[in-house]
Amino acid sequence: MQHFSFLEDHEVKRIHDASLEILAQTGLLVRNKKARDRFAEHGANVDEPNEMVRIPPEVVERYLALVPPTITLRGRDPKYDVTFPRKLPVVATASSAPDIVDPVSGVTRRATSDDIARIAHVVNELDGFDVFSISVLADDAPDGHFNLSRFYPALKNCLKPVRTSVVNVEEAKKILKLGELVAGSPEAFWKRPFINFGYCSIVTPLTMDFDSTENLMFFAENGITAYGTVAPMGGINTPLSLPGMMTLINAEWLATMCLAQMSRAGTELIYNFLPVFADLRDGAYAPGAIEVGMMNSIVCQMARRYNVPAGGYLGLTNSKISDAQAGYEKSMSPLLGALSGVNFVVMGGLLDALMSLDFGQLAIDNEIACMIKRVREGVTFNEDTIALDDIKRIGPAGMFADAPMTLENMTTATFMPELADRDLRETWMENGSSTIHQRALNKAMAILSSPNHAALDAETDQRIKAHFQGIVAGDSTLPVGWKPFAIGGEKPQRARRQNRRSKKKMQV
C-alpha cells in the first residue's frame, strides 16, 4: 500500500528546518517556571524576565531521537490494549462536548454523568471504536469532582482504553486514585496503568500555559500514558496557509516533545493535531472543512519523518443534525487521513463543531470507522484472489454465484454494514421509510437495553463510592421514555447475518 501525500521529501525537510529556526530564534513563551528551569537544565536558552525559551537545533534533535516509535493505550481489560502504529488505524471517539442530543426528546441539552455512563456502554459494544475518549462533559459534577464525574462513569461501563483531559495535577491524582480503586490496589494499577490522559500542550502561537505544562511534566515524570493535542485556528493564530500552519505547529509539537523527553527520556507521544482554519467570511470555526483532512495528510508525512505515531482529530462536522452534510464531513477527513497513513483517528459521535454528542451519529460514525479500517486492511493479492482458473473455467456468459470462492466468502469478502440501507425502495417504504439516523439510534438504544458486560462488580464500586463521598451514580440505563422508531419487517436473512459474520475471512 502506497500512502497518499501532498508534499515532496524536500518540502517536509524544509518545514522541519524552518521549525528549528523558529525554536532557536523566536522561541516560546513558557508561563511555567518549573518548565523554564527544566528547559534551561537541558540545554535551552531561557530569557527569564520575558519567560521566553529558545531551543537550539541540536537540543531538539537530541530529544527527538529519544521518542519511542510506538505508544500503548491501556484499557480496564488488557485485551483492549492498543499499541500503534499498527496496520489498521486506532479509532477513538471525539471528546469533551458540553451538550448532548437527548435520545428521547431529540432536544439538545447539557450532558451529564449519566449520559457518559450510557455512551461508555455503547462505545464498549461498537467494534469500530478502539478507544473511548470521553465524549461529553458532566454538567451535574459535584464540586471538586469535575473530571472524576467523567472518568468514573466511563471506567465503570467501558473496558476499552478511556482517555480525557484533566484541569490540573491535583485532579489527575484523584483520577489515578480512582484507577487504583478500580484495579483493586495501587500495585495492581501501577503494574498496568489503564488510565490515559490528554492535554492541550500549546496555546498557539508558541505559548505554553501554566497548568497544561505542569500536567505534561507530571504525566511524563510518572510514566503515565498521555498525549497532547495542538488545536490551532488558521488565519487567526496561525498563517492562513497549510504549509504555514504546519511549520508553526510543528515547531510547537517539537517544543512539547522536548519538554516531555527532558522530563523522562522515552516518554511515549503521538504527533497529534486538531488543525482547523477559520471561515473568514464571518470568522466561523470550521472543523468540518476539507482542509482539516488535508492538514492531517501533511501531519502524517511529518510524523513519518520523525518516526512517531501520527494522530488526527478528524470526522468533525459543523452540521447540527445528522444530515447529508454530517455524512460527508464526518467521513471525508478520516478517509483522507487513512489513505495518508494516519495511525490514530479521533472521530466519533460529535455534531455541531464539537459542541454536542448524538447517540445515532455515534453508531453511524462507528460504521464509517469500520469502512475506513476496511480500506486500510487493503487488498489481498495472490493467485487465489485473482481467480484466473475460475475465470477461465466459468468462461463467457457464465455465473460466479456458485463458485467455491463465492460460497466460502460470501459475507466476509466485502464489508457488511449493519446500518446502511440496501433494500429495494418498495421494501424500504414498507419498513417505514427510515433514515440511517433512526436506524442508528435504535441500535445505540438496543445496546443500552442489553446486558452491560463492562459493568464494575459491586464490591469494587462500593470501595469507590466510600472513598469519593458524593460521587455521581455512573450507571448506564435505558433513557426513560425511549421508544424505538418502528422499522418494520425484520427479515430472516438479517437474523442470519450475525452467524455468517463469524466465518473465515478472506480479504479481497
Q: Does 416 bind a second copy (CB under 8 A)?
A: yes
**Least distance between a second copy and beta carbon 170 (Å):** 26
Interface pick for a second copy out of 368, 444, 464, 472 (rule CB under 8 A): 368
Q: Is 465 left (phi over 0), alpha (psi -120 to 50) or beta?
A: alpha
Rounded to whole angstroms, how far apart are CA atoms 170 and 164? Answer: 15
Kindly report the backbone phi and psi dihedral angles of residue 296, in degrees, each rounded to the nearest multiple of 5, phi listed first: -60, -35
**Cell numbers 482529530 correspond to what residue?**
313
Select 6 or 146, whichever has its Cβ closest to a second copy.
6
Residue among 153, 147, 151 nearest 170 (CA)? 147
The yes or no reply on residue 431 touching a second copy (CB under 8 A) is: no
Binding mask 297-316 for a second copy (x = CB under 8 A): -x------------------
| 210 is a site residue for a second copy (CB under 8 A) | no
In the complex, minimum distance from the CB of residue 406 to a second copy, in angstroms, rounded to a whole number: 4
Instruction: Enter the C-alpha cell of residue 53.
Output: 525559551
Q: At what angle do helices 9-21 and 290-306 cross, to 10 degrees?
A: 80
With CB under 8 A as the contact rule, which of the stretches 130-138, 161-169, 330-338, 459-467 interacts with a second copy?
Answer: 330-338
Determine which residue in the list 406, 432, 478, 479 makes contact with a second copy, applying CB under 8 A. 406
- Shortest separation between residue 276's beta carbon and a second copy, angstroms: 10
Considering only residues 249 through 308, tell me which ones interact with a second copy, judged by CB under 8 A.
251, 277, 279-282, 284-286, 288-291, 293-294, 298
Q: Which residue in 49, 395, 451, 470 binds a second copy (CB under 8 A)?
A: 395
Closest contact distance (angstroms) between CB of 418 and a second copy is 11
Of the residues 102, 211, 421, 475, which one makes contact with a second copy according to CB under 8 A: 421
Alpha-carbon gap, residue 55 to 467, rounded angstroms:
44
| 315 contacts: CB under 8 Å, gap ≥ 6 | 94, 329, 330, 331, 333, 334, 345, 346, 347, 348, 365, 368
Report, in Å, the least distance between residue 329 CB and a second copy.
7
What are the strands of the beta sheet with 226-228, ordered from one edge?
132-133, 162-165, 195-199, 226-228
- On whether the CB atoms of residues 358 and 444 are closer than 8 A, the answer is no
Taking the C-alpha atoms of residue 348 and residue 359, their distance in angstroms, rounded to an integer, is 10
Query: Does position 411 bind a second copy by CB under 8 A?
Result: yes
364 binds a second copy (CB under 8 A): yes
Q: Is 178 helix (H, G, I), strand (E, B) or coil?
A: helix
Work out the angle between the directed axes of helices 113-125 and 359-377 (0-180°, nearest 10).
30
Query: Which x/- pattern over 225-244 shows residues binding a second copy (rule: CB under 8 A)?
Result: ---------xxxxxxxxxxx
203 counts as binding a second copy under rule CB under 8 A: yes
What is the footprint of a second copy within residues 121-140 (CB under 8 A)?
Answer: none
Does 22 sit near a second copy (CB under 8 A)?
Answer: yes
Secondary structure class of 406 (helix, strand, coil): helix
Residue 48 lies near a second copy (rule: CB under 8 A):
no
Residues of span 56-115 touching a second copy by CB under 8 A: 108
Which residue lies nearer to a second copy by CB, 39 or 152? Answer: 39
What minimum distance in Å lies between the beta carbon of 312 and a second copy? 15
Residue 458 identity = A
Indicate whether 505 belongs to the interface with a second copy (CB under 8 A): no
Q: Residue 169 or residue 387: which is nearer to a second copy going by CB?
A: 387
Among 112, 343, 361, 366, binds a second copy (CB under 8 A): 361
Helix, strand or coil for residue 233? strand
Would strands 226-228 and 195-199 be described as parallel, antiparallel, or unpaired? Answer: parallel
Instruction: From 152-160, 259-267, 453-461, 500-508, give the range in contact with a second copy by CB under 8 A.
Output: 500-508
User: How many Cα atoms occupy the beta-carbon half-sphere of 167 within 13 Å?
Assistant: 11
**Number of residues forming the site for a second copy (CB under 8 A):** 136
- Return the residue matching grid coordinates 449519566: 114
CB 230 within 8 A of CB 19: no
Instruction: Rank residues 256 and 318 by Cβ distance to a second copy and give the closer one.
Output: 318
